Structure formats: structure tokens, C-alpha cells
Chains A and B, each alone.
Chain A
Amino acid sequence: MRELKIFAVVVVITLITYWGIEPFAHSQMHPSVEPAEYSFGDVDGLKGMNGSASNGAELVASNCTACHSIESQGFPAVMDHETAAASYGVVPPDLGSSGLIYDENYLAAFIKDPVTASKLNHVFGDDKAHPMPGYDWMSDEEIADVVAYLQSIAPASMTNKEVFTDACQRCHSIHYGDMMGGSMAAYTPKAEITAYMGKLPPDISQHVISRGEKYLHEFINDPQKHLEGTAMPRVGLTQDSEAQVIAYMSEVGDSNKDERNSLGVKVLAYLVIFAVFAWLWKAKIWRDL
């Protein structure tokens, strides 16, 4: 009985200390922010309009493909990555998957005014123009047509890696995704992307661990919430696509997660058995004393 009391004292003191240095200290150091919001209710979006994909096809061909490739529809990239980065500051995205991975209201708002939709008014303005001009001269109807077209050509589903590649890799490297081949380097060369963003966007191989999934969800959804003034745009990923991006970061950065979780159960089960036998043996020996 006395031993149990002593044990309880040790456990309570340990837990109080743990609470202080982990949950409590972290709550003080990293104030919590509003949870991620995937309806993008603040943007100047589609306003419930349903566009026509065939009208959109013409609009896209005449307005977008001068800079953007749509490989799946026979619009190849006009330049290689290096030249494109030198011309625009950053490699422009292929639009083939945009209709799937980006929220439709966000997409409409972005086409109209990329700087406001991506929350980068503090980065782009009169001194430094955003590489994509706003299409606010188009009618809401026409913008809805463009969105409808992009949705019509988007694949029904994509792998986690494909979503990551389309959404993130123009700026971010994730070297651990292909350490030997180097195929997961950012498309935009270092010098150009550093000039474009103001600093080099980090390699995010280990961000799933260093930031944690909760932070990543909140951050990707709206970077300004955690890092006010950052040059990272709000990209407008849908909830599903964002989950796929983080799933890919986890596959790369925490690749043994499943093995760890399943092995842990077995090891702990073994140790419980060990502990039971150890106590039985102890009891047997101490009985004579």
C-alpha cells in the first residue's frame, strides 16, 4: 500500500511537470488560430452561377494558353521551366487539374483578381506586379464558363503525389520524395523563386513532422493566419486536395508511420506479458522473506 502511494506521488509529479512543459507551454508559445475554412466564403466567387464548358473552352484558348500549358488538352508548355521562370518569376501552372484540386469559388475569384484571392496585397502592387493579370474585365458569366471548362477537363481523381506536384512543387522542393533522382526539386530554379518570393521557399520534406498535420491544414488553407506577412499565397485547395497534399508529405516525411503504429502494439503486448511474469517471479521469490 505504501509503495502504491509513493508510486502515485511520483506519477502525479511527473504528469504535472509534463503538462507544464508540453501542452501548457505550447499553448502559450503557439496561440491557436481559427480552424481551416474550406468554403472560401470571403472571396468574390461564382455567386451560384453555372457556366458553359464549351464557351469556357474558347475563352481559355484565347486568354490563358499563351502562358499556361494544358498538356491533357493538347496545349503544351510554351517554354521550359528555366525560361518560364526567367520570364514570369515563377513557373506558371498547367491548368489540367485546376478544376479538381482548387475550390470553384476560389478559382473564379483568383481569375478575377489573383492578388486579393491569394491574400498577397502586401507583396504585389504597383511596385511589383503579379505575373498573372486579373481578368476582372470578363463578365461573371464568362468567368463561370472558364471555371466550368476547367472542371470539365479535370481528371476524376488524382494520386496524392500528383496533387502535391500540381499544387506545391512550382515553389517547394520535397527532396525526400526522390532523394536519388532529384525529380522532386522545385520547378522554379532557386535564384528565380528566391527573387519572386523574397526568400527561398523551404524544402518541405520534414514539414509534416516539424509543423504537424493540424498546423499544415490551417497554414495551407490560409498562410496569413499563422505567419502574417508571408509571401506564400493562399492557394485555394479543396479540403480533399489539401488532405491529399498532407498525405503525400506524410508518405515522404514520415514513411514508416504504419510500421511504427503496428509494431508498437506488438511490442507493448509482449511487454505486458513480460511484466506479468516478472511480477509473478518476484512474488515467488519474496514469499520466503
Chain B
Amino acid sequence: MAQFTKANSVGEWFDQRLATNKFMKVMMTEYWIPKNVNFLWAMGVVLAVTFGILVISGIFLMMYYKPDVNLAFNSVNYTIMQEVAYGWLFRHMHGVAASVVFLVIYIHMLTGIYYGSYKKGREMIWISGMLLFVTFSAAGFSGYMLPWGQMSYWAAMVITNLFGGIPFIGDALVVWIRGDFNVADATLTRFFMLHVFLLPMVILGVIALHFYSLRVPHVNNQEGEEIDFDTEAEKYLAGNKKESKVIPFWPVFLSKDFAVLGIFFIFYFYLVFYHYSFAMDPINFEPANSMVTPPHIYPEWYFLWSYEVLRGFFFDIAGIKAFDLGLMAFGVANIIFFLLPFIDRDPEVLPAHKRPRFNIWFWILMVDLIVLTVYGKLPPTGVNAWVGFFSSITFLGLFIALPFVTKADAKARGAL
């Protein structure tokens, strides 16, 4: 057993038992981040904080929410929104954070793509991040069902129906997921379980993995420069702060994160108080009614691009049914980003503005995602359907082209 001497302070007492000083060094004061980063590098902390807001507001909501088709709507819209002190605030915070978290996730993802932060040792950062995107999507979808409004019900209906397209097991799978032949009470209670227990647990685990995956390859920087972190850290610790290319996570990196958070909070709370209906669709303030289909059914905005890829194939091609084509394209859209590190054939880590062809590719992707998102909400009639079709084709085409585009860049640079 280790030798324990009498501690002279509370801090020392803990340090003897938990090695808190060492722990703080490893996690905070000697966890090194490149200095050459911009505010986009703060999105990780913004996301962590937004997730914290979701958990805390969610805990308060769960104290009054009732997962039962007969009680859910009123427990949210009457009990929480009208009766409970500041219940409306927690609900608005939860609903708006659920939407804003995806905005920040997309910024975070596209930052990673732009700066090439997903390859050359950083593959696991990217893959664990994509796992977070998928689990957050599942949490967003399951949570949207809980108020049991018209959109909750019909979105659940449409999305669970998609699984019916899977060959052989489709129909049985739909019933298995719903727990009933229809979207019904059993569906609501199991999605409640997923939303408040299983998915948050998985998300917490994957967040830990995501943070851990940063440890070995380290965070990327604005120029894609390879930094010798040990040498640079020594410089910093020796007081050579100006010359060193790295900064400690605490307090230097986090001081900037807090500043960015300050701006983010103004934006977020403005939405919470004054501009929330983009996140809390008015249609969902009408109780679920299986007899009345709303004139327009659309998912939350953050699913629109992949929903449009699904809808984009609205006619049969080569004897394959439109529904199956759409479903295949949708399946591809949902896994293709996972494969990004492997279909990018450029061996070097560089920002897009130093990879001319990839740069064009990136901005086409950006425009295409916006077009898909907007047209994913519009009724798929007339010219809208064709815009959807061509932007879906473009989306798939972009990923087919990516290996060639990135290889051409590398060749032109002489890296291949």
C-alpha cells in the first residue's frame, strides 16, 4: 500500500487519493491544442454545452411529461407550458437547443471537411463524430414524437414506414419498431425510453470516445500543419509562449471558447424567447389525429436534406421502383459521410483553399445541401420534384467524384 502522509490542505488530501493534480494536467493545463485555430474550433465546446442544456432542461421536462397517448399532449402543452413555473422556459430551451445543436453539428462537420481534419490518423475522430451525428439524429427524432402532436404522429408514421422497404424483413421490422401495427401507445412509450435513457447513455459514451480519439492524433489547425506537440509544449512550458505553436486547453483554449459561447448564448436565447417556431413547429400544437393527415408533412429542418434525397427519386428507373431507389439513395446518404476519410485519396491534410479541385467540390456540396434542405420542405410537385431529383443525383455524384477529385489535387501538387 502507498505511503500516506498527513495532508496539509483539502486539495492535497484529494491529490493523494485521486491524483487530481496529475489529472488536471492531463485533462486541462497540459492538454495541448494548436494556436493557429479560428472560432470554428470552438464548436466542440459549444456542442458539449448545448448537450448539457438538453440534458438539464430534459430532466426538468421529464418531471411532468407523461408518455401516454391520452396524456402526452396535455402534459406538455397544458401542464408544462401553462401551469408549471418556468415550464415553458425549459420546453423552449429544450426544443430550440435540439434544433440549434444540429446547426452547430453541421458547422462542426463542414469545418472538419473543409480543413481535411478526418484523415491521416484522425479517422476515428471523424467516425466517432459521425456516430454522434447518428445518435443525435435518433434522439431528435424520438424526442419530436413525445409531444404527440400532428407532426409527431405523422413524422413517426412516415419514417417508421421507411423500414418497410428493406427486403424480406421490411414489414415485420416496421411492426417490431412500432410495437404495434400502427403508430400507437406502444410506439410512444418505447420512443420515450429511447429518448430519455438509451440514446443519452449511448451519446455520453460516444462523446467520451470522441474526446479520447483526439488525444493521439491531436486537433488539426488552420493550415493542416504537422506539429511536434512535445517540442512545442516544452517551449510553452519554458515560457516561450509567443514562439510555441500550441496552447493549453485550460485556460487559453477555453477562454476563447467562453468568448464564442457568449455570442452563441445571445443567439440561442434570442431564439428561445422570441423566435422559436422554426424549432417547435406550430402544426405540432395540434393533437395527433390518425384520421386527419396534415396537408404538408415534413421532418425537422436538419433531416430535410436526406429526406429530399429519399424523395428525389420519384419515378421508376430501369424497372426499379421509385420508392426503392429513394430508399437506397437515402441509405447511401446516411452512411457516405462515414466513409469520407477513405474516399478522399489525397494523402495530405490541407484546408480546401489549398486544394483547388476539392475546394470547388466542397462548395458544390454546400450549395447542394442547401438546395436539398430547402426543397425537402417544399411540396414535391411540378418543378420542385425535378429540382429534388437533380440535387439528389448531384449529391450522389459528388461522392462518386470525390476520389478522382482529391487524387487529381494530390497529383497536381506532386504529392502522389
Contacts and interface: CB of A to CB of B under 8 A. Distances in A.
Q: Secondary structure of the B side of the interface? A: helix
A286 B256 contact: yes
Contact of A21 (B77, B270, B374): B374
Contacts, number: 127
Interface in A144-177: 176
A211 B89 CA distance: 21
B273 A6 contact: no
Interface string A1-28: 0110011001001101110111011001
Interface string A268-289: 1001101111110110011011
Contacts of B282: 209-212
Nearest to A260: B273
Contact of A3 (B39, B242, B273): B39
Nearest to A20: B374
A32 interface: no
B283 interface: yes
A275 B259 contact: yes
Interface string B147-179: 000000000000000000000000000000000
A177 B258 CA distance: 44
Contact of B304 (A21, A28, A212): A21
A210 B282 CA distance: 4
B278 A22 contact: yes
A33 interface: no
Contact of B262 (A16, A28, A210, A275): A275
Contact of A282 (B107, B255, B286): B255
Contacts of A212: 282
Interface residues of B, number: 51
A273 to B, nearest CB: 9
Contact of A176 (B82, B103, B247, B379): B82
B241 interface: yes
B38 interface: yes
Nearest to B38: A3
A256 B272 CA distance: 13
B269 interface: yes
B283 A210 contact: yes
Nearest to B281: A210
B252 A289 contact: yes
B222 to A, nearest CB: 9
Given A6-B39, A176-B82, A28 B278 contact: no
A20 B305 CA distance: 12
Given A25-B374, A206-B77, 11 more contacts: A20-B373, A22-B278, A25-B377, A206-B286, A209-B282, A209-B285, A260-B273, A278-B258, A278-B261, A282-B259, A285-B251
8 contacts: A10-B40, A176-B82, A206-B285, A210-B285, A271-B269, A281-B255, A285-B252, A288-B241
